[in-house]
């Protein structure tokens, strides 16, 4: 019985002391409310280690996509898929350690809209997504991952956490 309590206590301590990497906020230096032909929309994801120990061997990747309203969201991280198009863009990946309470701004991703895309997004026929993932090891050597997805809501001119692909372990 005492060994079982010790094992449970160690597990709780690890969970309390481990790294927890997630997206603290979205920064959009461009005016998202001005979605129109030829207007670029750029977004930074601000990642943070909310835990009490470093996130080691951290790999962070992010992107932006425009998809049809009825299409199921799918994250694409293939930075070698050819030239950037107005349909999607990948933000350069980073790798390293993120210390507790430290933030990291992912390199800015930017999309330029065609007239049709701008109209379709304003009408809700297409959706604009920003998404990312972080994989890392905690100080105890255990692997973890975080997935994040937010979509632009034209009616309120805000970003809303998407109902899929936002999870952490």
Strand runs (DSSP E) across the chain, as ranges?
Answer: 21-27, 40-49, 55-68, 88-98, 103-105, 109-112, 126-137, 143-153, 158-161, 167-168
Q: Structure tokens of 141?
A: 């050597």
Which residues are paired to 161 by β-bridges?
150
pLDDT at 85: 43
Distances (CA, A) of 98 to 16, 55, 78, 90: 17, 5, 23, 21
Rounded mean pLDDT of 127-138? Answer: 91
The overall pTM is greater than 0.75? yes
3-state helix, strand, coil in the chain (%, to 5): 15, 45, 40
Which residues are paired to 26 by β-bridges?
45
pLDDT at 118: 84
Q: Collapsing DSSP states into helix, strand and coil, what is residue 159?
A: strand
Q: Do strands 103-105 and 88-98 pair parallel, antiparallel, or not at all (unpaired)?
A: unpaired
User: Could you name the CATH architecture of 2-168?
Assistant: Sandwich (2.60)
Band (pLDDT 50/70/90 cuts) for residue 54 is very high
Band (pLDDT 50/70/90 cuts) for residue 79 is low
39 compared with 122, residue with greater pLDDT: 122
| Range in 37-41, 61-65, 78-82 with the lowest mean pLDDT | 78-82
């Amino acid at each position: 019985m005492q060994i079982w309590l010790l094992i449970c206590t160690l597990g709780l301590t690890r969970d309390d002391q481990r790294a927890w990497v997630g997206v603290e906020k979205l920064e959009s230096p461009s005016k998202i409310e001005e979605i129109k032909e030829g207007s670029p929309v750029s977004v930074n994801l601000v990642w943070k280690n909310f835990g009490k120990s470093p996130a080691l061997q951290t790999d962070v990747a992010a992107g932006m996509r425009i998809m049809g309203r009825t299409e199921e969201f799918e994250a694409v991280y293939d930075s070698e898929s050819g030239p950037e198009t107005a349909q999607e863009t990948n933000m350069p990946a980073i790798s390293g350690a993120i210390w507790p309470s430290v933030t990291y701004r992912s390199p800015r991703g930017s999309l330029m809209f065609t007239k049709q895309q701008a109209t379709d997004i304003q009408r809700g026929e297409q959706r604009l997504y920003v998404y990312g993932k972080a994989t890392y090891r905690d100080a105890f050597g255990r692997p973890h991952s975080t997935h994040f997805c937010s979509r632009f809501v034209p009616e309120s001119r805000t970003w809303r956490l998407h109902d899929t692909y936002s999870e952490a372990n």
